Amino acid sequence: MEGFKALGLSYKNAPIDIREKVAFNESDSTDFILKLQELFEVEEALLVSTCNRTELYYSAPNDLSKEILGLISAFKHISSQELKSYFQFYSSKEASKHLFNVTLGLESQVLGDIQISNQVKRAYQQSADLNMAGPHLHRLMHTIFYANKRVVQETSLQDGTASVASVAVDLVRGFIGNIENPRIALIGLGEIGQNVLENLDSKEATITLVNRTKSIAEKLSEGKNILVKDLSNLESIITENDVVISAVATSAPLITADHLSEEILHKLFIDLSVPRSIAQEVERVPGVSVYNVDQLTERTLKARAIRTKAIPAVENIIEEELSNFMSWKNEMGVSPTIQKLKIALDQIRKEELSRHKKLSDKEIELLDVVTKSMIQKVIKLPVLQLKAACKRGESETLVEVLNDLFNLESTKIEKR
């Protein structure tokens, strides 16, 4: 579909304060896609919004990227002029390839980050639930997920500890190494928070879970030596713990300098939220160290070196699977011609059979089987030639020849 396009921004060209302004949570994403569907002639839409990027992929007869940027601007109450310089625009094959690169982790701030594929899967599920995923997007996403499976099996792109969660935990371990009986508070138990928890070891420190929905924290702590506390006790939680990891979805900072006492000797804060959940003023408090998602990349150098070597192999997989997808896409473009050719030849067959009225029912039945077999053999070569022409990008000429030879433009395909 030539009308498949994309627009978006990422950590590569937009600072965190801009990214957090256009970040979409699940509810916002649903509202935005529905508004997009209402206002524009959009056939498919996929909205991917993470701490590192916000991108919209869509299928439409016309290029609506400028209009969609305007809608994002209005939806987020930001000047479109302010956003314009940060957004990049992709068309047709560029958009498809970019989505491959994003989902497989080549565009991630932490190269090969395994979280992004799950985030894209959730975005795709949302599109499907809203009836905004058609044949093109369904095929593209399943091709990408297959490519991701190949990357895991055939390359070292995801080897080592290089996800945001694992890098955060490595940072924590380095910090608590010389602390006797260290205490860690994990606030927010969404996907990133749970990924952090999976990497933390309660034998190394006393872990406290804090979540708006307390039952989630209680469930995750079952059978483990882990404490659970209410978010209403935030100030005492911050005071009692050596490390505070915040992975909370919030529109305003959850943790401010007012939550900190003056007697702090040494404390580590890790902010995994976008928008940020720890106010910038906390960084200026003596004895406090604060890391946000942009700064965590400093801890990924070793894993990145290993993963960087895998990039050529990953790119080869992408090219192979993208080529397969484009072949399917081109074949979809000629499938109406193939169907019309089958109908035209079958009509000729039926007309010829109808002339022989003196034949017995048994003879007609036999001729029907024989002529159908003949038609299948006659049509096989043109179909193979059409598919081969699709792969060469030369199907248009052959389609025109078949249309002229069999007057296919006048052939109607019945709806089933």
- Are 229 and 212 spatial neighbours (Cβ–Cβ below 8 Å)? no
390 is catalytic: no
- Are 58 and 46 spatial neighbours (Cβ–Cβ below 8 Å)? yes
From the list 9, 18, 51, 399, the catalytic residue is 51
Determine the straight-line distance between the first and last CA of the chain, rounded to whole angstroms.
Answer: 23
Residue with tokens 């010829």: 352
CA dist 114 and 151 (Å) reads 11
Please list the alpha-helical segments (H only) found in 276-310. Answer: 301-308
The packing angle between helices 135-154 and 93-103, to 10°, is 40
Residue from 150, 339, 171, 38 nearest 184 by CA: 171
Buried b (16+ CB within 10 A) or exposed e, 255-292: beeebbeeeeeebbbbbbbbbbbbbeebeebeebebbb
Count helices and strands (H / E) in the chain.
Answer: 15, 10
- Let me know how long the chain is: 416
- Phi-psi bin for 68: left (phi > 0), alpha (psi -120 to 50), beta? alpha
CA dist 174 and 298 (Å) reads 14
So which residues are the catalytic ones?
51
